[in-house]
Chain A
Amino acid sequence: QQQVKQSPQSLIVQKGGISIINCAYENTAFDYFPWYQQFPGKGPALLIAIRPDVSEKKEGRFTISFNKSAKQFSLHIMDSQPGDSATYFCAASRGSTLGRLYFGRGTQLTVWP
Chain B
Amino acid sequence: SQTIHQWPATLVQPVGSPLSLECTVEGTSNPNLYWYRQAAGRGLQLLFYSVGIGQISSEVPQNLSASRPQDRQFILSSKKLLLSDSGFYLCAWSVGTATEAFFGQGTRLTVV
CA distance A49 to B45 in the complex (A): 19
- Per-position 1/0 for A12-40, Cβ under 8 A of B: 00000000000000000000101010000
Interface assignment of A100: CB less than 8 Å from any CB of chain B? yes
Q: A103-B44, A105-B42, A105-B43 are in contact. Are A43 and B101 (CB under 8 A)?
A: no
Give Cα distance in the complex from A95 to B100, angstroms.
10
B87 interfacial contact with A, CB 8 Å: no
- Sorting the interface of chain A by its residue count into under 10, 10 to 19, 20 to 34 or 35 or more gives 20 to 34
A103 to B46, CA, bound (A): 9
Number of interface residues of B (CB under 8 A): 27
Contact between chains at A103 and B43 (CB < 8 Å): yes
Distance from A57 Cβ to chain B, minimum over Cβ atoms (Å): 14
Give bound CA distance, A32 to B51, whole Å.
19
Q: Which of B44, B45, B102, B103 has its CB near the most chain A CB atoms (within 10 A)?
A: B44
CB-defined interface of B35-51 with A at 8 Å, one 1/0 digit per residue?
00000011111100101
Cβ–Cβ contact A89 & B43, under 8 A: yes
Contact (A99, B32) CB under 8 Å given A32-B99, A46-B102: yes
Report yes or no: A43 in contact with B98, Cβ–Cβ below 8 A: no
A98 close to B (CB within 8 Å): yes
Determine if B34 and A44 form an interchain contact, defined as CB atoms under 8 angstroms apart: no
* Interface presence of A65 (CB below 8 A): no
> Which of B59, B98, B101 has the most chain A CB atoms closer than 10 A to its own CB?
B101
Contact in complex: A99, B99 (CB < 8 Å): yes
Query: Measured between C-beta atoms, what is the minimum distance from B3 to chain A in Å?
Result: 12
The stretch of B11-19, B65-73, B77-85, B104-112 in contact with A is B104-112
Query: Which A positions have Cβ atoms within 8 angstroms of B?
Result: 2, 6, 9, 32, 34, 36, 41-46, 49, 89, 91, 93, 95, 98-106
Q: Lowest 7 A-B CB distances belong to which pairs?
A: A99-B94, A43-B103, A105-B43, A32-B99, A103-B43, A103-B44, A99-B101
Other 5 A-B pairs with CB < 8 A, given A41-B108, A104-B43 = A49-B100, A91-B44, A98-B49, A101-B44, A105-B43
